[in-house]
């Protein structure tokens, strides 16, 4: 989930930025500090959107930097369990697939890629035995987050595509088209039954 966060904090501006106007120095420092930053509670910082206010600078003996009380806005992405995500397959392995979600990447175990017996092929793809569906790098997919682990700098994101409305975009379109065809067949069959019933009444 993407969201904006308004933060009030003391920003430590390094001496190398002292020659710049204060607002610009704080902005540059924030962008450097929050580059590729992830926090378990807050999420993944995508960008520093704006610096709203910078207070007076404070110097601390023994520390060459200056500290400024600052209010700023961050754009953040925080993965949530059960959230639907859209991404592109970036890597196929013998145990599953990795999908790039933009800010981060998630992992789909081979058993969670499709409703089928799946094997790893020599062409660097995952292949469904009965459906003949393939999953390969570059495929666009919709998946659901089913697990989050916060060990290390970035979270481990576990995904599934074994639910209705999930999977490779082409599969979703195929399933939708099949559903519409089945609905039309059922409608025609119902019409035949109704017409047949009317004929019997007229006899």
Predicted confidence (pLDDT) per residue in 29-47, tens digit? 999 999 989 988 889 999 9
Phi, then psi, of 149 in degrees rounded to 5: -125, 130
Same domain (yes/no): 132, 68: no
Specify the pLDDT at position 47: 95
Q: How confident is the model at residue 154 (pLDDT cuts 50, 70, 90)?
A: confident
| Domain tally, the chain | 2
Domain of residue 101 covers 84-175
d(CA 195, CA 117): 43
Q: Report if residue 203 sits inside a domain.
A: no
Question: Is 152 found in the same domain as 69?
Answer: no
Residue 182 domain flag: no
Q: Is the pLDDT of residue 202 over 90?
A: no
Dump pLDDT digits (tens) for 54-92: 999 898 888 889 999 999 999 999 999 999 999 999 999
Q: Is residue 17 part of a domain?
A: yes
What is the pTM for the complete model shown? 0.78
Of 58, 77, 96, the position where a domain reaches its end is 77
Examine residue 145 and state whether it is found in any structural domain, yes or no. yes
- Residues 95/109, Cβ–Cβ less than 8 Å: yes
- CA dihedral sign of residues 173, 174, 178, 181: positive
Query: Are residue 128 and residue 100 in the same domain, yes or no?
Result: yes
- Same-domain status, 96 and 164: yes
The tokens describing 94, both together, are: 């013998």
Q: Considering the domain boundaries, does residue 191 fall inside one? A: no
On the 0-12 / 13-18 / 19+ scale of CB atoms within 10 A, 106 is: buried
CATH number at residue 64: 3.30.1490.120
Q: Are residues 92 and 136 in the same domain?
A: yes
The token pair that represents 49 in the structure block: 């959107």
Structure tokens at 40: 């378990």
Domain final residue, candidates 20, 52, 77? 77
Residues 6 or more apart whose Cβ sits within 8 Å of residue 159: 85, 99, 106, 107, 108, 112, 143, 144, 145, 146
């Amino acid at each position: 989930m993407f969201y904006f966060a308004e933060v009030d904090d003391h920003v430590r501006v390094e001496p190398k930025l002292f020659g710049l106007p204060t607002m610009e120095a704080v902005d540059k420092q924030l962008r450097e500090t929050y580059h590729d930053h992830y926090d378990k509670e807050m999420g993944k910082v995508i960008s520093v959107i704006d610096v709203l206010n910078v207070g007076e600078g404070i110097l601390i003996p023994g520390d060459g930097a200056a500290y400024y009380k600052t209010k700023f806005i961050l754009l953040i992405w925080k993965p949530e369990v059960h959230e639907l995500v859209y991404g592109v397959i970036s890597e196929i392995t013998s145990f599953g697939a990795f999908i790039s979600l933009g800010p981060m990447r998630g992992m789909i175990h081979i058993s969670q890629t499709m409703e089928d017996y799946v094997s790893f092929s020599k062409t660097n793809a995952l292949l469904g035995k009965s459906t003949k569906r393939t999953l390969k790098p570059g495929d666009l997919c919709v998946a659901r987050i089913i697990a989050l682990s916060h060990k290390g700098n970035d979270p481990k994101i576990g995904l599934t595509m074994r639910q209705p409305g999930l999977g490779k975009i082409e599969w979703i379109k195929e399933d939708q088209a099949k559903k519409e065809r089945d609905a039309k067949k059922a409608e025609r069959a119902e019409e035949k039954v109704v017409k047949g019933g009317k004929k019997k009444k007229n006899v």
